[in-house]
Copies of this chain bind each other. A is one copy, B any other.
Amino acid sequence: MNKKGRSSGSIPQSVVRRLTKYLTQVQSSITAGSEWISSADLAEELGLTSSTVRQDLSHLDFSGISKKGYEVSKLQKVLKEVLGADKEWNTAVVGAGNLGRAIALHGALARRGFVIKAILDSDKRKVGKSEAHLKIRHIDDVGEVVKKQRIDIGIIAVPAEAAQAVADQLASAGVKGLLNLSLTNITVPEGVNVIDARLVSSLLELTHSIMHDRA
């Protein structure tokens, strides 16, 4: 499957993070009508060196062409494959507050293959109400919901105090990954993947930068 039996086996996390940016960039190049993109172009747009870009792309089962660069449609294809952006992922949002409801309604996710199949909450007054064409379910039904809807990913959008318990419930219900939006460091059993995406943490990285004048 891979060029020489190596490549995508295990791509470092730092590289994976940049691959998501290359995908974004490649997609906007396609929209702009380009057919080719060079490592120097990508580097310039993302504030990297062309050397880093070439090293990163060497993890993919794919080659550029001397003098021309990388064919954007092919690059898009392999990036999507390696990141899983060519698949549909059944997703459940836990927490029907402002943030959870906004995510459920956020069209960009569905368009990118993250299909929201369920919304759950612990507040019985919310259960049964409709949100984004889905009836809100009670969090205690998470086992049934995950099974019936074949949920792959849980998005945690509950208050910090509740996050660990929700993570436990989702993990034992069998989801494969969690996106944690709550301000808590959750721990999960082996075999469950977690990515943190906390607004407050990102904002603190930003204020640190502002104060110490990176940029």
Is A1 on the interface with B (CB-CB < 8 A)?
A: no
- Of A47, A191, A203, most buried by chain B (CB within 10 Å of CB) is A203
Is A109 interfacial (CB-CB < 8 Å)?
A: yes
Enumerate chain B residues within 8 angstroms of A200, measured Cβ to Cβ.
20, 108-109, 112, 114
Any B CB within 8 A of the CB of A162: no
Q: Which residues of B contact A184 (CB under 8 A)?
A: 24, 28
Inter-subunit contact A212/B179 (CB<8 Å): no
Q: Say yes or no: is A192 at the interface (Cβ < 8 Å to chain B).
A: yes
A101 to chain B, nearest CB (A): 7
Contact status B99-A176, CB under 8 Å: no
Give the total of A residues in contact with B, Cβ under 8 Å. 70
Q: How many copies does the complex hold?
A: 2
List 8 contacting pairs A-B, 8 Å CB cutoff, sorted by A: A13-B214, A16-B208, A20-B201, A45-B185, A99-B102, A106-B199, A177-B206, A188-B215
20 additional contacts, CB 8 Å, given A98-B101, A102-B102, A177-B209?
Answer: A11-B208, A16-B208, A19-B208, A24-B185, A24-B201, A25-B185, A82-B208, A85-B204, A99-B103, A101-B102, A108-B183, A112-B183, A152-B210, A179-B199, A179-B202, A179-B206, A192-B215, A193-B209, A194-B206, A197-B202
**Residue positions of A touching B, CB distance < 8 A:** 8, 10-11, 13, 16-17, 19-21, 23-25, 28, 45-47, 82-85, 87, 89, 98-99, 101-103, 105-106, 108-109, 112, 114, 152-153, 159-160, 176-179, 183-185, 187-188, 190-195, 197-212, 214-215
